[in-house]
Structure 1
Amino acid sequence: MSDQEYFTVHHQLTVNVEPLADDFSIPSIEEFQDEIPAPFLVASEFSSLDQLNDAARAELKSNDFKHVIQLLDTQNSKLNLLLTFMLSQQDNPDFRHQTTSFGASQFSYKSAQGLEQGQKVRVKLFLDHPAAAIYCYGIVFDTQVDKDETTISVKYDLLRDQDQDLLIKAALYQQQKLLRQRSLNREK
């Protein structure tokens, strides 16, 4: 993975961070692709289908097919509910945390137990919008101790390109939401 920097947004996502042994070797791309749990692959495919759905909606809207659009939205909602349930089965409470910020190159979270800089971790990120989940590997690059909590920052070490695109889309969505809220607050 390249060392590109992407902006981060302050937002809480559920993340599983599993510390790995010091002698753990990050798998090859092929091994990594093979070990990704099926629900994460399905989630990625669903996100691709959502893009097609958005294009179809725009095309239908221009021809005023509001009932067809409503049907598509309903079917999409059903699929997203099913996907959310499938992905919730992958969430391990032993490794569960909430991010304080995330982006397409890194994320941060708070924990009662710190990790050492350079510590390798297996990561499962559960996105709200788009509804998806990401399986990847990371490395701790910063820790900040504050009283009895530690803020741990993790840089992605092995991440599929399509999952990085999902992270970009999720960060942009949260940024747009924040900007809309600011605009509404100014209007009041």
Structure 2
Amino acid sequence: MTEQEYFTVHHQLTINAQPLADDFIFPSSAQFEAEIPAPFVVASEFSQLDMLNDSARKELNNSDFKHVINLLDTQNSKLNLLLTFLLSQQDDPQYRSTTVAFGASQCSYLSATPLNNEQALRVKLFLEHPAAAIYCYARVIGCEAHEQGYLITAKYQMLRDADQDLLIKAALYQQQKLLRQRSIDRENNQ
């Protein structure tokens, strides 16, 4: 992964952030890929396939196949429900927290305990849209006292490209949602 910076969006997601030992050494790329739990890999592949479905859906939408689109959407919803259930099994209450902001290069979350800068973390991020989850490693780059504990900012250190794409898509979705809501609020206030 390059040292690119991506914008972050303020949004709450469920995160598992497991602090690792001070002497923790990040795995090799091959070891990292091998240790990613199967539901995370499946979720990533589902999301990639959903992107392909979007273009096919647009083509069908221009024709008289609305019933086919409805059928595909229903099947996709069923698969997403099943996937969400599988991913929920990967959520460890011991390390569960909530993000304050996230993006494709870093995230910030609330923690009950402070962490040292450079502390290694094993991270699981549970996305809402697209329905997916990200498994990666990160390093703490900031820890600030907060009214609800500590605000931890972590920069991703090991993250698959496909998962970075999912984070970009999720951040863009939340940004669009926020902009739409602002537009509606402005219209209502006029």
User: Which TM-score tier does this pair reach, normalised by the shorter chain?
Assistant: over 0.9
Partner of 2:48: 48
Scaled by the length of structure 2, the TM-score of the pair is 0.97
Gaps of 5+ in 2: none
Within 2, Cα distance between the matches of 1:165 and 1:148? 31
Distance of aligned partners of 1:68 and 1:159 in 2 relative to their CA distance in 1, 3 Å threshold: same
Within 2, Cα distance between the matches of 1:7 and 1:148? 24
Answer yes or no: is 1:85 the counterpart of 2:85: yes
Answer yes or no: is 1:96 the counterpart of 2:96: yes
Deviation at 1:147, TM superposition (A): 4.8
Q: Once superposed, what is the RMSD of the aligned Cα atoms?
A: 0.8
Residue type at the aligned position of 2:88: S
In the alignment, is the contact (CA less than 8 A) between 2:110 and 2:148 conserved in 1?
no
Hey, which bits of structure 1, 4+ residues long, moved more than 2 A?
none
Q: Secondary structure in 1 aligned to 2:68?
A: helix
Scaled by the length of structure 1, the TM-score of the pair is 0.98
Deviation at 1:56, TM superposition (A): 1.2
Gaps of 5+ in 1: none
Deviation at 1:80, TM superposition (A): 0.2
Equivalent residue runs for 1:157-176 within 5 Å = 157-176=157-176
Q: Which moved more, 1:143-152 or 1:73-82?
A: 143-152
Equivalent residue runs for 1:146-157 within 5 Å = 146-147=146-147, 149-157=149-157
Partner of 1:58: 58
Partner of 1:75: 75
Residue type at the aligned position of 2:79: L
| Number of equivalenced pairs | 188
Residue type at the aligned position of 1:34: A
Deviation at 1:146, TM superposition (A): 2.8
Deviation at 1:148, TM superposition (A): 5.8
Q: Secondary structure in 2 aligned to 1:152?
A: strand
Answer yes or no: is 1:109 the counterpart of 2:105: no
Q: Secondary structure in 2 aligned to 1:107?
A: strand
In the alignment, is the contact (CA less than 8 A) between 2:97 and 2:109 conserved in 1?
yes
